A = this chain, B = another copy of it.
Amino acid sequence: MHEKQLLLIPGPTPVPPSVLREHSRPMINHRGPEFKALMDEVTEGLKEIHKTEADCLILTTSGTGAMEAAVVNTLSPGDHVLAVVIGAFGDRFAKIAEAYGAKVERMDFEWGKCADVAQVAARLQADTDKSIKAVLFEQNETSTGVVNDVEGIAKAVREHGALCIVDAVSGLVAIDLKTDEWGVDIVASASQKAFMTPPGLGFVTMSERAWEAAKTAKMPKFYFDLAAAKRLAEKGQTPWTPALPQLFGLREGIRLIREEGLDNVFARHQRLGRMARAGARALGLKLLADETCASPAVTSIRAPEGLEAKALRKLALDKYGVVFAGGQGQLADSIFRIGHLGFVSETDVLTAITVLGAVLQEMGVTCDTGAALAATQSEM
């Protein structure tokens, strides 16, 4: 019965049937006219969703590969990079830059909080000799369910002059990101989150400033060479054979997003987040993130005292077919997460709270599921 599962993890997210059907299309020549039409259409949609006039390149990879492409195409070994870390993915971004020889200065914030914009701005202002070449940070930190103030951080980075590089893998489409208006140079994202399509594609936007930096960037790359991707994109192609099914699916995913309307998609995610948090709180659970920076895409919940998050997730999966995510990194054992991004409805969140209540009760935790559902519903 695993095809009856309700998948509530922060990616891969549930995929609409119309997108899945696209994945069954016969193959086409990736150097032919049908592919060019597909690439052109998908690229236009991606730029619209990213709110950018800049290049948006499509790579066959996961979100991590898109993050790597952002780094290796614009930086050189020895470059001083400021990595703003608020969780496991911020940490990963820093490690990618380190792996390629950047001199990474980490600015760590407590997991569960967002980055303090004033602190980031102060650090950048103190860098009077402009040694910092780039600032790396998350839009939505998947591991904690926390949203950064991208506009605020980007403003500070703009004033300093460093490259502004944002990992938006789990936030894009769920949360507004005004790439051009806010002055974000590079956005890394991927197909398997709020785009409602399966994993397999990564996306990278590149501003004029990013291309300028690319000219002198000396980190080695081949597969992730964005200049090659740009040259081929201009012919409606990719340098290497692309994941065709995901491109067919993405065309349909973008169509669905347009049909709902991007602002409505953002509002739905806000609503789903409020619902999940209200429901969990009303079940007596503690949330990891403050309400002020809590993510509309994923909610991190502390396991009740004396109860293993892993055991709770296992019961939800085995008995109810509801898939919650575990914690990552330092939070691996202490939290679980409800993903509510992409093809997720209000009713799915009500179901999540229903099952969470049932599981808690079975594990000996006293809670009032009816009251929790009422609280959840009140945020609809």
Contacts and interface: CB of A to CB of B under 8 A. Distances in A.
A62 B242 contact: yes
B26 A23 contact: no
A48 interface: no
A219 B220 contact: yes
Contacts of A12: 27-30, 241, 244
Interface string A165-207: 0000000000000000000000000101000001110000000
A223 B26 contact: no
Contact of A241 (B27, B100, B190): B190
Interface string A118-152: 00000000000000000000000000000000000
A376 interface: no
A200 B323 contact: no
A199 B62 contact: no
A15 B24 CA distance: 9
A64 B240 contact: yes
A27 B14 contact: yes
Contacts of A354: none
A223 B7 contact: no
A15 B26 CA distance: 7
Nearest to A65: B223
Contacts of A24: 20-21, 23-24
A351 interface: no
Interface of A: 2-3, 5, 7, 9, 11-15, 20-21, 23-32, 34, 60-65, 68, 95-96, 99-101, 190, 192, 198-200, 219-225, 239-246, 317, 323, 325-326
23 contacts: A9-B29, A9-B31, A12-B244, A20-B23, A20-B26, A21-B24, A27-B192, A29-B323, A60-B65, A60-B199, A60-B243, A63-B240, A63-B241, A64-B222, A199-B242, A199-B243, A199-B244, A200-B243, A200-B244, A200-B245, A200-B246, A223-B224, A243-B246
